[in-house]
A and B are shown apart, each in its own frame.
Chain A
């Protein structure tokens, strides 16, 4: 099973600041990594797939990078609606599909 470790657990920032979220895989997963955003009481929302491809309708302030075992989600300038929990997910080796534990971006 591929274990995904996200860091930090919580990121305290202000609107307009840059957010950098990390996801590390326990083994190489090539670029088969996705990022999701989840707000309280809502379903997850796909942001990025295959490490760096923005999903339809996702603003370009969201970007993803990395390959192998180390990945980054960057939000270039935080908007108020970006404060949420972010999860990474791998699909190279499954079952099981696995998610990271999440990073909460808070004000």
Chain B
């Protein structure tokens, strides 16, 4: 059974940093591209970032580009999102998700974690 378990969320002040983690199990992590999607309270889904299976390709939405870094450790089956210079508008539940098809960037997400809440407030 695929399991994705996010951690690292919490309450931070504007301008501070946070590192989110997503521990994966139940599948061959190194074969799958991964992504982060967020959801502000009471709002819809917003794609944040994606990374290829081997980590060579990274992609970001404009609002986090330059402030965030996605990475992965395939030896530890873990996905990361380093978020710097956090703003109030970054407040959201952050989900990690796995793509449907191995060895591709087909960007259909068939397994999701339960999410971790990031709150940016003074």
Chain A interface (Cβ < 8 Å from any Cβ of B) = 34, 36, 38, 42-46, 49-50, 55-56, 87, 89, 91, 94-102
Contact between chains at B44 and A95 (CB < 8 Å): no
- Which secondary structure dominates where chain B touches chain A? strand
- For A34, list chain B residues within 8 Å (CB): 108-109
Interface size on B, residues (CB 8 A): 23
Which are the 7 A-B pairs with shortest beta-carbon distances? Answer: A43-B112, A91-B107, A97-B47, A99-B45, A49-B108, A96-B61, A95-B59
**Min C-beta distance of B35 to chain A, whole Å:** 8
- Contact A87 to B108, CB < 8 A, known contacts A94-B59, A96-B61, A97-B50: no
User: How many A-B contacts at CB < 8 Å in the complex?
Assistant: 60
- Say which residue of B60, B106, B114 sits within 8 Å of A43 (CB atoms): B114
**Min C-beta distance of A36 to chain B, whole Å:** 8
Contact between chains at B47 and A46 (CB < 8 Å): no
In the bound complex, what is the Cα–Cα distance between A49 and B109 (angstroms)?
9
- For A102, list chain B residues within 8 Å (CB): 44-45
Q: Which of A34, A55, A101 has the most CB of B within 10 A?
A: A34
- For A36, list chain B residues within 8 Å (CB): 45, 109
**28 contacting pairs across A/B (C-beta < 8 A):** A36-B45, A36-B109, A43-B113, A43-B114, A44-B37, A44-B45, A44-B97, A44-B109, A44-B112, A46-B108, A46-B110, A49-B110, A50-B108, A89-B45, A89-B47, A91-B106, A94-B47, A94-B107, A95-B60, A97-B35, A97-B47, A97-B50, A97-B107, A99-B45, A99-B46, A99-B47, A100-B44, A102-B44
